[in-house]
Structure 1
Amino acid sequence: MIDLEEVLGSPPPALVNDEEYPGRERFDRKPFVIRRGDTAKGFTEADVVIDDTYVTPTQYHATIQTRACVASWDGETLTVWDAAQGVWNSKLAFAKSFGLDPERVRVIVENLGGGFGSKAWSHRISYYAARLSMTTGKPVRMEQTRAEEFLVHPHRYDCRIRFKMGVRRDGTLTAIEERALVNIGAAAGSSNYNANRIIWQTSNLYECPNVYLEQIGVFTNLQMTGPTRAPFNMPAIFPLEMHIDRLAAAIGMDPLEIRLKNYKTHASTHTKPELMEQEMRVPWSNKQLDVCMRKATDAIGWERRKEQRNPSTGPRKRGIGMAAFIAHQGGGKSPNKAYADVDICRNGTIRLHIGVVDIGGGQKTILAMIAAEELGVHAGDIEVIYGDTRDTRYGPACHTSRVTAEMGPPVLQAAAEARDKLFVLAARQLKAQPSELASCDGLIYVKACPQQSIPFAAACAGIDAANPISGSGSRESNPDSPLFSSFGAQAAEVEVDTETGGISIVRMTAAQDFGKAINPKLCVSQVVGGIEFGVGYALSEEGIYDPKTGRMLNTNFHQYRVPTSLDMPPIDAILVEGGDPYFAFGARGGAEVTNAPTAAAIGNAIADAIGIWFTELPVTPDKVLEALKARRLQD
């Protein structure tokens, strides 16, 4: 039983022990609701009401590296070379599973060939390898094939989402009703299913006085679901932003204008299920979504939409669309616990110890840059100890865009503490007080007389060789107010071939609010990678399942079609930097969520090109041809 509507009325028997994945009793077919105002009243006040249902597909991570590990037990210590996005969470989980003192477990992740949530924690084969090593006394290596990776890994939830929305002629939203059915698969727990994340985004993206939003998780016989690069964002934003465009078209309003008309200036706190009907309005820590929307549309040439609307005589039609997003990510995740340490040695060596994994997002580089800025040296001067539980303290796993937000403050604190201790030594050489000193570009100088300076390395000569200078930093939980979120907007220009049904993306623009881009090149890279996820979700990626067994059939890259370089358009990535005062140098996370509006922007551009709104993803050539044929018959 894999169909959402079918299972709602007749649930299948459990396929996974609830002891291992508790959650069925809490989540299965239970509605979680956000409400405010009176939607019935709101719809009577509307001039236009549109009601439709949208279907979004499963999506898989398609990492270059499949799951692999080596485990070695020497009789005293378990060492695991793993493919995971966090070393410390894995260390603690191994210790608990095998009844070991955590000090007797070491986890190493030197390099990771992609994660996107699939490796948010250690998976079964790592435990199997560890148990086999402890049994045989020999190192054990295990690796999954590509087909196994498709079959046994959690994937993105497929959803069926109904939207009913009302709007006045002036563009003011009067009411929103939403019913989101989420296919949880065979198992879910609080760690991999968020019972209100889809409807939270609807509640917070636009201002509307009357809403009734319902999210229902449904257990089916499909394989397990779980983190998949912003797992709920694309399913949430695609139908919402398509529906907003349809309302704009119905009242003859520009899609950008209707979004700005209903711009939400305060957050509605529905982040905890028990608070969903106890709305509190709180400020954002920093929000520049309106700037993002204007920059993305300006960059695509928004004024050309009207010019391209005149139908050409040829089969190729062009259109331009946009979409915005909000995501409750990028500001850290509970419990927000993180530690960092900085050592400065007599020979001038600087070591930064961080218990995190660099999964390709540049975490090693970004955190070294934060430390270097605070110390007044160059990032290349810092040796980074990372990806290993030995010689580091607890750091978060690298997912939900949390590492910069959570590790940035402790890194800054540790560097500042070590710098201030070094200033005590430097002050003697400069004949000044430590409080009178500053450092920059490898020099320590007197603030009132910058010419009075010494090299950083010269100050280090006063350090006791047996006792390096050390600084430490830690991170506490976020306050309840303001609310920390990520924002952005994208625009797409597409060309639709009405003879073949083929869709080509001509160009995309993206404006993302990162607070402060510590390393702009890495931020742009994350925007491009996120868009690639969104392009596949919109146009080609889809799991195909045996209806009798629920087993996935297209377990290879020939039949499960991820975008290649030939499918990707030119992308203009615009980094919006206003700074977020709650984070180190104003930088918050945002890499994971860069895929959120892509499918909606593409869908709206397709509608602008041929006048057809596709409510089911992916939009493949056969669906385009069927829709065009249906319209001809109707005409």
Structure 2
Amino acid sequence: MTAIGAPLDRVDGPAKTTGAARFAAEQQPPGLTYAALVHATISRGRITALDTSAARAVPGVIAVLTHENAPPLTPARKVTPLDLSTMASGTSVNYLQDDEIHWNGQPIAVVVAEDPAAAREAASLVRAEYAVLPATVDFAAMEPAAKQQPNSMISPGEGKKGDAEKALAAAPVTVDLRFTTPGHSHNALEPHATVAVWEGNRLTVHDATQSLDWFRNHLAARFDIPVADVRVLAPFVGGGFGGKGAVWPGTILAALAARATGRPVRLALTREDVYRTVGGRTPTTQRVALGADRDGKLTALIHTSVSRLGRVGGMPEQITSQSRHLYDAANILVRQSVVELDLLPNTFMRAPGEAIGTFALEAAMDELAAETGLDPVELRRRNEPAVNPVDGKKFTHRRLREVYALGAERFGWSDRTPEPGSMRDGRWLVGMGVASAFHPALRFPANVTLRVSAAGTVVLRCGFQEMGMGAATAQAQVTADALGVPVEAVRVEYGDSDLPVSPSAGGSVQTASIAGSVVEAAEKLTRSLRRLAKRTGGDDPFAVLRQAGVPHVEASVGSDTRLGRLSTQARFIGGFLRDSRKMRAASGAQFCEVRVDPDTGETRISRWLGVFDIGTVVNAKTAVSQLRGGIVMGIGMALSEETLVDPRTGRIMNPSLAEYHVPVHADIPRIEVSMLDDPDPTMPMGVIGAGEVGITGVAAAVANAVYHATGRRVRDLPITLDKVAG
């Protein structure tokens, strides 16, 4: 192999840097109109009156759609593991079909106009009156929580080994701690946008989606048309992080408005619209209790959590996932509970569950290290398991010892003095913290078509999503090495639901899933080329085709027919059952250095090193970028990000980047990233996945470094000035 691992530039780089790339909101079909949303201002109740007269009088307004005049819409289907596309519904609300209000921000009208200014002005003039019903919106006041159902598609709600509570009570050394994390809102560089066009009964949607197939199936069901009559196009997506994995009101209402007006409609959400109508990360309360002997060997590990669902949607997060796998405790109890609130449902957000779950577990491990007098790295080494701790499954790939050894050496961990507050740089207190990173690895079926032409080109066709992570570049490299051709000869077609079906770009599954099918298709092509080569001689695939007088050969994996989809579903279930007998994950170690002002509590991250085991590194440049991006997002989670919900009204109080603080360049030091590049023998091309493991462990590493600098434990994110200096 010559292409795999090379730090190649992204094939979509020139289009994006020159402005040639066209995103969803930049599509301009003939006759385009513009839409704007009107949001409810209560959390629960009914609309008793809607005055749209002033809105309709605005010059250029074409229509004001409400529950009183909107076309019919089919309710969302219930989620079922037999059809993963049912997970695409952001909420269960049937928009503009009745007078019910389910959350503060729910769209109650959509205005369509000839220009965007007229649409926005008219939307601001719609007046609603409500019959307000009692609403439950304060997560902090919710007790008791209900146990998460054991049949969750995301993760089981409970797991146990031995009697952890009894072992905790008997342990010589214990910590029993409570952690909280706030809600987080999605802030992709490109806000959500949809351009919807109807041609008779056929619907074409340009959308900022990270799940083409799910979107297509969901839209077909909602508008009661055949799946074949829906086309979703998303060649470029300006970031997703999970927020664009579900179908939210904007997409549905754009298509509904286009059907009602008979004109193409563009609905580009404002930043505030995104906060009001697109779910984010759930807040949590977590308990982590650890018991150990005097040498630091864990005898008990307890991790319980409470998270939030919307009353009209959302899925539990796998908050205790890493606590099932990271440490070899003799007795383990993990349990997840949920509460339902009258709020916008939560949704996927980079490393759902593990991002916030590792904060609690890894901060607790740091506290146990202090109680036992052990170095935090040494404590983790002493509790490294040989097999999966809860169920005894074998690891397919586990390199955390090597990761920590490499990271400690490169970061200069031995220079750390153990006493909190013992390291200074002038007036700054200096602290060093560490935490484990973890994210499970999965693969899904992917359909692909590969064509090798005598003209010297290879075309890979697959309807996957490119959100800026370099997916097309990586698959070109996989294809090149699988066929033994130069990577420059490979062209990748993607971002169109008319192409062979791909899994969503989420869960760190896309690269490995598609690579497996590419390799399978390449093997089929290689067999065809070898048969031709027996007649012509040579091993260059292009030369073989030319000498044989054959213009091209093609091979496919999977089929998008109804029978093919059933076969794909069977492949998924079979693969899932096989994989359930093994434990496979990406892992890493996060090393952080902070400087803290002792008077103000100002915290600055001065150095960062992340060392990761993600299996085979397909592209050294894009993989580092992915991991570094996850770390940046984790730094935001640690120090500043927090969605503030008014506990009286359920209204988000900081729905803009002026008040919801994400990291900027001045907040981020140079982030060094190292990777083992050690293939997992059970995964296609040895790939595990890089998209999400980078954010895990980050918040804990920051909190642990702040403790080392100051002696103050912060167990409630974000780590703000008042919590450090107060």
Question: Which category of TM-score, normalised to the shorter sequence, fits these structures?
Answer: 0.7 to 0.9
Alignment of 1:401-416 (within 5 A): 401-416=508-523
Match of 2:544 in 1: 459
Alignment of 1:202-601 (within 5 A): 202-268=323-389, 280-306=391-417, 310=422, 312=424, 315-328=427-440, 330-332=441-443, 336-390=444-498, 392-430=499-537, 445=539, 455-462=540-547, 468-474=552-558, 476=571, 477-478=575-576, 479=578, 480-601=580-701
User: Residues 76 and 168 from structure 1, CA distance in 2 versus in 1: closer, same or farther, beyond 3 angstroms?
Assistant: same
Q: Provide the secondary structure at the position in 2 that maps to 1:267.
A: coil
Q: Deviations over 1:497-536 (max 9, x none)?
A: 1122111111110011111001011110011100111100
Q: Deviations over 1:46-86 (max 9, x none)?
A: 22111221111112221111110111111142111111002
Which stretch shifts more, 456-465 or 584-593?
A: 456-465
Q: Deviations over 1:379-398 (max 9, x none)?
A: 221111110122x2111110
Q: Provide the secondary structure at the position in 1 that maps to 2:231.
A: strand
* Residue pair 1:408, 1:583 contacting (<8 A) in 2 also: no
User: Residues 32 and 424 from structure 1, CA distance in 2 versus in 1: closer, same or farther, beyond 3 angstroms?
Assistant: closer
Residue identity matched to 2:137: I
1:207, distance to aligned residue in structure 2 (A): 0.9
Q: Provide the secondary structure at the position in 2 that maps to 1:338.
A: coil
Q: Deviations over 1:111-136 (max 9, x none)?
A: 10110000013322222222222333
Q: Does structure 1 residue 6 correspond to structure 2 residue 154? A: no
1:593, distance to aligned residue in structure 2 (A): 2.2
- Given candidates 42, 63, 85, the residue that maps to 2:210 is 85
Which stretch shifts more, 171-180 or 65-74?
A: 171-180
What is the distance in 2 between the residues matched to 1:264 and 1:78? 52
What is the distance in 2 between the residues matched to 1:263 and 1:302? 19
Residue identity matched to 2:342: N
What is the distance in 2 between the residues matched to 1:612 and 1:322? 16
Which stretch shifts more, 506-515 or 482-491?
A: 482-491
Residue identity matched to 1:473: V
What is the distance in 1 between the residues matched to 2:582 and 2:370? 35
- Given candidates 108, 124, 127, the residue that maps to 2:249 is 124
* Residue pair 2:145, 2:339 contacting (<8 A) in 1 also: no
What is the distance in 2 between the residues matched to 1:209 and 1:468? 60
Q: Provide the secondary structure at the position in 2 that maps to 1:242.
A: helix
What is the distance in 2 between the residues matched to 1:321 and 1:52? 19
Q: Deviations over 1:168-212 (max 9, x none)?
A: 1111111122331112244435xx324xx2223212110111122
Residue identity matched to 2:554: S
What is the distance in 2 between the residues matched to 1:242 and 1:99? 50
- Given candidates 51, 65, 84, the residue that maps to 2:176 is 51
Residue identity matched to 1:280: D
Alignment of 1:92-103 (within 5 A): 92-103=217-228
Which runs of 5 or more structure 1 residues have no equivalent in the other structure?
12-22, 269-278, 431-443, 446-454, 627-635
What is the distance in 2 between the residues matched to 1:261 and 1:235? 24
Match of 1:177 in 2: 302
1:25, distance to aligned residue in structure 2 (A): 12
Residue identity matched to 2:585: S
1:40, distance to aligned residue in structure 2 (A): 4.0
Residue identity matched to 1:501: G
Q: Provide the secondary structure at the position in 1 that maps to 2:593.
A: strand
* Residue pair 1:540, 1:563 contacting (<8 A) in 2 also: yes
1:44, distance to aligned residue in structure 2 (A): 4.3
* Residue pair 2:306, 2:339 contacting (<8 A) in 1 also: yes
User: Residues 24 and 73 from structure 1, CA distance in 2 versus in 1: closer, same or farther, beyond 3 angstroms?
Assistant: farther
What is the distance in 2 between the residues matched to 1:33 and 1:384? 43
Q: Provide the secondary structure at the position in 1 that maps to 2:589.
A: strand
User: Residues 70 and 303 from structure 1, CA distance in 2 versus in 1: closer, same or farther, beyond 3 angstroms?
Assistant: same
What is the distance in 1 between the residues matched to 2:435 and 2:442? 22
Q: Provide the secondary structure at the position in 2 that maps to 1:527.
A: helix
* Residue pair 1:515, 1:578 contacting (<8 A) in 2 also: yes
User: Residues 25 and 594 from structure 1, CA distance in 2 versus in 1: closer, same or farther, beyond 3 angstroms?
Assistant: closer
Residue identity matched to 2:222: S
User: Residues 65 and 94 from structure 1, CA distance in 2 versus in 1: closer, same or farther, beyond 3 angstroms?
Assistant: same
What is the distance in 2 between the residues matched to 1:322 and 1:187? 39
Q: Deviations over 1:318-350 (max 9, x none)?
A: 01110003222x322xxx221111012232231
What is the distance in 2 between the residues matched to 1:62 and 1:185? 20
Which stretch shifts more, 108-117 or 218-227?
A: 218-227
1:297, distance to aligned residue in structure 2 (A): 2.2
What is the distance in 1 between the residues matched to 2:701 and 2:140? 28
What is the distance in 2 between the residues matched to 1:463 and 1:250? 74
- Given candidates 265, 268, 280, the residue that maps to 1:155 is 280
* Residue pair 1:187, 1:225 contacting (<8 A) in 2 also: no
Q: Deviations over 1:587-626 (max 9, x none)?
A: 1212122101111011111111111111111111122121
Give the number of equivalent residue pairs. 571
What is the distance in 2 between the residues matched to 1:463 and 1:66? 51
What is the distance in 2 between the residues matched to 1:255 and 1:24? 35
* Residue pair 2:138, 2:650 contacting (<8 A) in 1 also: no
What is the distance in 2 between the residues matched to 1:188 and 1:259? 38
Q: Provide the secondary structure at the position in 2 that maps to 1:388.
A: coil
Which runs of 5 or more structure 2 residues have no equivalent in the other structure?
1-135, 559-567
What is the distance in 2 between the residues matched to 1:85 and 1:10? 32
Match of 1:14 in 2: none
In angstroms, what is the RMSD of aligned CA positions?
Answer: 2.3
What is the distance in 2 between the residues matched to 1:313 and 1:408? 48
* Residue pair 2:150, 2:158 contacting (<8 A) in 1 also: no
What is the distance in 1 between the residues matched to 2:613 and 2:150? 38
Residue identity matched to 1:282: K
Which stretch shifts more, 617-626 or 300-309?
A: 300-309
What is the distance in 2 between the residues matched to 1:254 and 1:134? 64
Residue identity matched to 2:502: G
Match of 1:275 in 2: none
What is the distance in 2 between the residues matched to 1:356 and 1:235? 28
Residue identity matched to 1:605: A
Q: Provide the secondary structure at the position in 1 that maps to 2:716.
A: coil
Q: Provide the secondary structure at the position in 2 that maps to 1:42.
A: helix
* Residue pair 1:67, 1:144 contacting (<8 A) in 2 also: yes
Instruction: Normalising by structure 2, report the TM-score.
Output: 0.75
